[in-house]
Chains A and B, each alone.
Chain A
Amino acid sequence: MRGRALGIGTRAGAALLTVGVLAWLPQYYGATDTALFAKAIYIAIAALGLNLLTGYNGQVSIGHGAFFGFGAYATAILMNDHGWDFLATLPVVAVASFVVGAAVGFPALRVKGLYLALITLGLAALFPDLVTKYVHGTGGTTLVQPPLPTSPGWAQGFAPNDDQWRYYLALTIGIVMFILAWNLVRGRFGRALLAVRDHDAAASTIGIDLARIKVGSFAISALYAGIAGSVGVMVTGLANAGRVETFQLSINFLVAVVIGGTATVLGPVVGAWTFVFLERATQDLFPDQALLSPAIFGVALILLLFALPDGIVGGARRTGRFARRKLQARRAPRAPDFPSPIREDRQ
C-alpha cells in the first residue's frame, strides 16, 4: 500500500502479459501439467483470502482448509445430488462460506495470536468429523465425485479438451477473485484492515468498529476459501476431507501467503504458484525415494524464506525501492535532510 512503484501503463502491460501467458499455458502443455496449473490457481484463490485475514488484518488461521472443504462439498453435493450446474453453485457457496466464516469469526474476537491459531486448528480437526457424520458419498465413504463440466460447443476452438476448459474456468474465477481483492485493499475497508492490525486502540478512536472489521475479514477470507474449494472440485473431480488433507491444505494456504509476501495482493498468487511448482519439482527429484521429497521441499521453503523474509513480492519491492533510491541519489547528489533531530525524553 506504499507509494506507487510502477506507472499505470507499466502495470497494465504487465497484467496483460501475465494473463496472456496464463491463457497460453494449456495450449502448449498437456493434461497433467494443466491440472497442476489449475491447482496453483485454486490454492492462489484461497491464499488471496487468507492473506486478507492474516496478512492485512493480523489474524492467523491454520484452519482455512475447513472452509475449503466446506465449499468443495457444497459444490460437489449440489452438482451430484441435485443436478446443479457448476457455475450456479458458486453464488451459493460464496454466501454460505461467508456466513459460516462470520460465525467462526465472532468467537474468534475474544482471542488473539497463538490462541486464535489454536482455535482455527481445532476447526480443521473438527471439520472431517462433521463430514463423516453428515456426508454419505460413494460406496459409504465420504468421497463425492460429481460429474465435471465439459467443454461446450462454442469453446471447441480454444479448448477442445475438457481439462483445458476447466483450466479456463478456474483462471477466469481466479482473475475475478484477484480483482476483487485488489480493489478491496485499496479503499476504506483495506485501510481499516491494516489500521486494526497495526494499532487497534488507535483504530477504534478514529471510528473503526473493531468487531466489524475482524469478523468481516474472517467472513471474506472464508468466502475465498470456499470458492477455492468449489474450483478444486471442478478441477480434481473430487470432494474429500480427510483429517490429513484438511490440515495440509490449511498449512499450504498459509505457506503460499508467507512465501509470496504478506499484505500484498500479488504475494499469495506468486506464493501459490511457487509452492505448487516447488512441491512438484522436489517430487521428481528422487522418484524412488518417496520420503525424501517432502523433506527437500521443506528445506527449499526454509531457504526461500531465509533469503526473502518478507516473501517474494515483498523482497522484489524492497529491491525496487532500493534501486530507485540509488538512482535518485545519483541524480540529486545531496538529498535534503530533515531539519528535526530526535530528542528522546520522558517517553
Chain B
Amino acid sequence: MALLEVDGVGLEFGGIRALDDLEFTVEAGEICALIGPNGAGKTTLFNCVSRVYTPQRGSIRFDGRELLTLPPHRVARAGVGRTFQNLALFPALTVLQNVMVGAYSRGRGGAWSDALRLPGVARRERRLAREGSELLERLSLDHLGDQPASDLPYGTLKRIEIARALASQPRLLLLDEPAAGLTHSEVEELGGTIRQIRDDFELTVLLVEHHMPLVMSISDRVVVLDLGRKLAEGTADAVSQDPQVIAAYLGAEL
C-alpha cells in the first residue's frame, strides 16, 4: 500500500477548477516530485493534504488513514510535515524557538503546567532545545539559534522552515518550491540535504519544484500536473520526453 493516496480529489474556487479528479500515489521512502506549470494546482494539493483547504470531492489517505476527516492540527501528529511556497516562519520567535515550536504536535501539557513550572516542564524545555539544536546543526544553522527568524538571507530562512518541519518527526515531508530564490550553489547543496534527510530520518518526500535540474537529480519519480489533473507520471527522463508534458510547458523551461 502506498504511503499517500490521492484519490479523485476535486476542488473549485468559484468557477476555477484548481483540482480536477486528481489521482496519484506516493510510495514510502521515495522522493516524488510534483511538477507542472504555474497555477496547475500543486500548492492547492499541499493545502488539501495539510487540511488548509477541504476539497469538495475525493479522498486523501495517509498510511491507509483518511486525512480529510481530521481537524487541521491533527495532520502533523498523523505524520505529515510541510514547508510553504512563501515563507511562513514566526518572526517573533528565534530560529531555535521556531524549531522548538515545530515539535508542538509531539508534546503535551498546557498553559497551567507552563505557568506553574510543574516538574517536568524545565526538563521538557531542555530536551526540546537540545533536539532543536541538533536539527539546526544538521542543516548548518546552528550558529543562528538565538537570532530572530527574520532579516536573514532567503535561503537560510527556507532551511529554517525545513528544520521546523522536521522537528515534528514527520514520515511524509511536503516541500513547496524549496529551491525558489536560492543561488546556484545553494540549490546543489539543497539537493544533497533533501536526500540526506530522507535517508537519515527514513522520510518520504513529496517535492513541488520548478527547478528542473534539481527535480532531475533527486527524484525517484515525477508526477506532472496540469489544470488540476495528472498529465503524466514516471521517471524524470521519461516525463521530460513526453509530448503532452512538453506541450503543457510550451514556452516554459523544461
Residues of A bordering B, CB below 8 Å: 1-4, 180-181, 183-184, 186-192, 194-195, 197-199, 201-210, 216, 220, 263, 338, 340-347
Contacts and interface: CB of A to CB of B under 8 A. Distances in A.
A58 B84 CA distance: 22
B50 interface: yes
B221 interface: no
16 contacts: A180-B116, A184-B114, A187-B114, A187-B125, A188-B114, A198-B92, A201-B84, A201-B88, A203-B90, A205-B52, A208-B73, A208-B101, A338-B153, A343-B154, A343-B182, A346-B210
Contacts of A183: 114-117
B90 A199 contact: yes
B89 A205 contact: no
A204 B84 CA distance: 13
B44 interface: no
B195 interface: no
A202 B88 contact: yes
B155 A340 contact: yes
B235 interface: no
A186 B102 CA distance: 15
B183 A341 contact: yes
A4 B148 CA distance: 12
B115 A1 contact: no
B42 to A, nearest CB: 13
A343 B115 contact: no
A186 B156 CA distance: 25
Interface of B: 50-52, 71-77, 81-82, 84, 86, 88-94, 97, 100-102, 104-107, 109-111, 114-117, 121, 124-125, 146-148, 152-156, 164-165, 167-168, 177, 180-183, 186, 210
B152 A338 contact: yes
Contacts of B101: 188, 191-192, 195, 206, 208
Contacts of A346: 177, 180-181, 210
A203 B72 CA distance: 10
A221 to B, nearest CB: 11
A342 B50 contact: no
Given A205-B82, A338-B153, A187 B75 contact: no
The listed residue with most B CB atoms (<10 A of its CB), out of A190, A195, A205, A216, is: A205
A197 B92 contact: yes
B148 A209 contact: no
Report the 6 A-B pairs with minimum CB-CB distance, sorted nearest first: A207-B105, A3-B146, A207-B76, A187-B114, A202-B88, A198-B90
A340 B186 contact: yes
A325 to B, nearest CB: 12
B115 A206 contact: no
Contacts of B156: 338, 340
Given A1-B97, A207-B106, 13 more contacts: A183-B114, A187-B121, A188-B104, A191-B104, A192-B104, A195-B101, A202-B84, A205-B50, A206-B164, A338-B152, A343-B182, A346-B177, A346-B180
Nearest to A185: B114
Contact of B114 (A4, A189, A204): A189
Contacts of B114: 183-184, 186-190
Contacts of B180: 345-347
Contacts of A187: 109, 114, 121, 125
A310 to B, nearest CB: 12
Contacts of B94: 1-3
Contact of B97 (A191, A204, A220, A342): A191
A183 B125 CA distance: 12
A338 B143 CA distance: 11
